[in-house]
Structure 1
Amino acid sequence: MGFHVEINSILRSDEYTGLAIGEIRAFRKSGSRVFFDDIPIWLTKSDWTALAEIQVISQSRTPTEVKGEFQVLHVYGGKEQVRVTEMFRRMYADGGDPFIYVLMSPEVLKKSAVQGVYAPKSLDTEDFIHASPIGQITRLANKYYCDNDTIHVAVVRKSRVTAPIKWEPATGGLYPHIYGKLNMDAVEQTFTFFKNEEGKYQVDI
């Protein structure tokens, strides 16, 4: 039987600032996945902001940790950093979930279903529709729909959304923003939630 080793191609850390091409930095991360050491890999922040292209020059691992050193090959900045960051967030920020989640009041859901599109006021004021990763739905429901006794959660398949989706920082992490009207045929199902005895929503999907 062969020996299976899982390999990472991205080092995520918030420890690095002032990177310069050619310098050597130490790294340490939890987990036992090692890094490619014969080809360049990427260095990003924990929110997937692209920092640099690096090459691991030494590494060792234990069952709980990998540590070593890398050399900086290229540092991202300006428009290049923005483009590469958008790519990483598009590919990885969802954690593998094929869906994003949109909160709607009963009235708005009914109107959007009839019209075939969801176009809230935020499209005019912010140029995008607020959506949510699954882990933030309860917080958002209690923050923005506290005056509603009922809330609907639309489960939206990302691959069917016709408008661009960008993952951008906001309170609590990264959120999917839909830059255009949401075509309602991308909604695969909706869930209805009511406030509990404490007057709060608890959204479990």
Structure 2
Amino acid sequence: MILHITDRQQWEQAKEKGIYRCESLGTEGFIHCSTPEQLTAVANSFFRGQQGLVLLCIEVDRLQAELRYDPVENQLFPHLYGPLNLDAVIQVLDFTPDAMGFHLPPELQ
């Protein structure tokens, strides 16, 4: 399983359209994802203070677009090189920080 952080509004729009795309797909050519082990650091680096986020839990075996693990700062991060087909999303979790920041949701521990 890989994870993707997005805002609830983008996710709701994706459900209406039947496919998920985000800005980075157009600007960088891929959708940024994380492993569960990488999630907290990514969230606290790039989403600090943001509200209204959801966490998409993605089943890798269901992906239609190409998934690559690209090196970034001495780690391999999962990047999806195409739109995300909605049937690959197996769970959507509210992703709200507390006073200390973001944490891995209990459902994923």
The equivalent residue for 2:40 is 138
The equivalent residue for 1:196 is 98
Shift of 1:172: 5.3
Shift of 1:106: 1.2
Is the CA contact (8 Å cut-off) linking 1:155 and 1:189 kept in structure 2? yes
Greater percentage in helix: 2
- Could you list the runs of 5+ residues in structure 2 that have no partner in the other structure? none
Q: In structure 2, how many angstroms separate the alpha carbons of the residues matched to 1:135 and 1:109? A: 23
Q: Structure 2 length as normaliser, TM-score? A: 0.88
Select the structure of larger CA radius of gyration. Answer: 1
The equivalent residue for 1:169 is 71
**Of the candidates 42, 45, 52, which is equivalent to residue 150 of structure 1?**
52
Q: In structure 2, how many angstroms separate the alpha carbons of the residues matched to 1:116 and 1:131? A: 19
Q: In structure 1, how many angstroms separate the alpha carbons of the residues matched to 2:80 and 2:71? A: 14
Q: For 1:16-36, what per-residue CA distance to the aligned partner results, in whole angstroms no more than 9, with x for missing partners?
A: xxxxxxxxxxxxxxxxxxxxx
Q: For 1:79-121, what per-residue CA distance to the aligned partner results, in whole angstroms no more than 9, with x for missing partners?
A: xxxxxxxxxxxxxxxxxxxx11111111111111221211111
Letter in 2 for 1:188: I
**Of the candidates 6, 11, 18, which is equivalent to residue 109 of structure 1?**
11
Shift of 1:201: 1.1
Is the CA contact (8 Å cut-off) linking 1:131 and 1:178 kept in structure 2? yes
SS of alignment partner, residue 167 of structure 1: strand
Q: In structure 1, how many angstroms separate the alpha carbons of the residues matched to 2:48 and 2:41? A: 10
Q: For 1:26-70, what per-residue CA distance to the aligned partner results, in whole angstroms no more than 9, with x for missing partners?
A: xxxxxxxxxxxxxxxxxxxxxxxxxxxxxxxxxxxxxxxxxxxxx
The equivalent residue for 1:178 is 80
Identical positions, percent? 28
Query: RMSD of the alignment, in Å?
Result: 1.4
Q: In structure 2, how many angstroms separate the alpha carbons of the residues matched to 1:149 and 1:180? A: 26
Q: In structure 1, how many angstroms separate the alpha carbons of the residues matched to 2:2 and 2:32? A: 10
Distance 1:191 1:172, change over 3 A: farther
- Could you list the runs of 5+ residues in structure 1 that have no partner in the other structure? 1-98
Distance 1:140 1:172, change over 3 A: farther
Q: Structure 1 length as normaliser, TM-score? A: 0.49
